[in-house]
Amino acid sequence: MPKSDFEPRNYAGVLIFKIPLWEEKFPELYHAFSTRLGGVSDGERATMNLSFKRADSAAVVRENYRRLTAAAAAPYEGLVLTRQVHGDAVLAVRDRSLCGRGLSDGDITPEYDGLMTDLPGVTLVKHFADCVPLFFYDPVHRLAAISHAGWRGTVQRIGGKTIQSMGETYGSRPQDIYCAIGPSIGPCCFEVDAPVRDAFAQSYGSASPHIHNDGNGKFHIDLQACNREDMLQNGIPASQIAMANLCTSCDPETFYSHRRDHGHTGTLAGLIGIRG
């Protein structure tokens, strides 16, 4: 894969990925993408599982969140978690009533795969274990957003819908928005059959360069490139899109991967928010 715009940062043993350009350009913003390193989970989830749906106790997951937020300089009490359903709905978090919800009992509601807010101290969280993390920031409106783009969300173009929602709800203009596409399963490992290929062909065109025919009834799809195309088509300047170019499936030492580990794994998280 090409060079990554993300870089690892180690904070007291907690390894996270950040975007150096964003760190330099937007001091009012905090963001991070987790790895499997630095937590207290054990077994197949070792060590930084961030999902209450895995076999970890809620206390273990909460401790992992405390460590992640400390590493990211994000307020733990501001965490907002919503249930992910591989859809394209985006929620504007306009008050703090959702902060902390789900951390006590793992009951994460409502159902939104995208979140956005302009409230300082609200930490937007999405979960991943191969799906594509999409980060957004509009410095003009001080508006942060994050979306979970699985293959279904990518077909439904949740990235573009997040950009549109930022405009419709907060007045953001595409030329002001900075985007980032985090670590996910890469085209090297994302092999699909014809029905999934057909869904991508319908959304991105049958001649899309992001769909590779293996010639044996199987296909490889570049999810990160598809989401970048969606952002470009929604008016984001190419110079304002940061690419991780990192494959979660290829790096078992750093990342969980649902496909590689056949579901016996932990869950990663991306977070973003505005400093108070």
Residues 20-66 have pLDDT tens digits of: 999 999 999 999 999 999 999 999 999 999 999 888 999 999 999 99
Q: What is the pLDDT of residue 103?
A: 84
Cα separations in angstroms, 127 against 41, 123, 168? 16, 13, 25
Of 38, 35, 36, 4, the C-alpha closest to 20 is: 4
What length does the chain have?
A: 276
Q: Is the pLDDT confidence value at 115 over 80?
A: yes
- Where does 26-157 have alpha helices with state H? 58-72, 151-155
* Structural domains in the chain plus CATH codes: 7-188+228-274 (3.60.140.10)
Q: Which whole number is the average pLDDT over 111-140?
A: 98
Q: Is the pLDDT confidence value at 108 over 90?
A: no
Given a contact cutoff of 8 angstroms between Cβ atoms, the answer to whether 47 and 254 are in contact is no
Q: Is the pLDDT confidence value at 183 over 90?
A: yes
Share of the chain above pLDDT 90, in %: 92
Sign of CA dihedral 147, 32, 170, 95: positive
Given a contact cutoff of 8 angstroms between Cβ atoms, the answer to whether 241 and 21 are in contact is no
User: What is the Cα–Cα distance from 126 to 179, expressed in whole angstroms?
Assistant: 15
Q: Which whole number is the average pLDDT over 244-268?
A: 97
Q: Is the pLDDT confidence value at 139 over 70?
A: yes
For 231, the enclosing helix (H) or strand (E) is: helix 223-233
Q: Is the pLDDT confidence value at 105 over 80?
A: no
Q: Which whole number is the average pLDDT over 245-258?
A: 98
Confidence of residue 14 (pLDDT cuts 50, 70, 90): very high
For 199, the enclosing helix (H) or strand (E) is: helix 194-204
Instruction: Write out pLDDT tens, residues 205-239.
Output: 999 999 999 989 999 999 999 999 999 999 999 99
User: What is the Cα–Cα distance from 276 to 274, expressed in whole angstroms?
Assistant: 6
Q: Which two tokens stand for residue 135?
A: 């980060």
| Cα dihedral 247→14→96→99 (10° resolution) | 90
Q: Is the pLDDT confidence value at 107 over 80?
A: no
Q: Is the pLDDT confidence value at 90 over 80?
A: yes
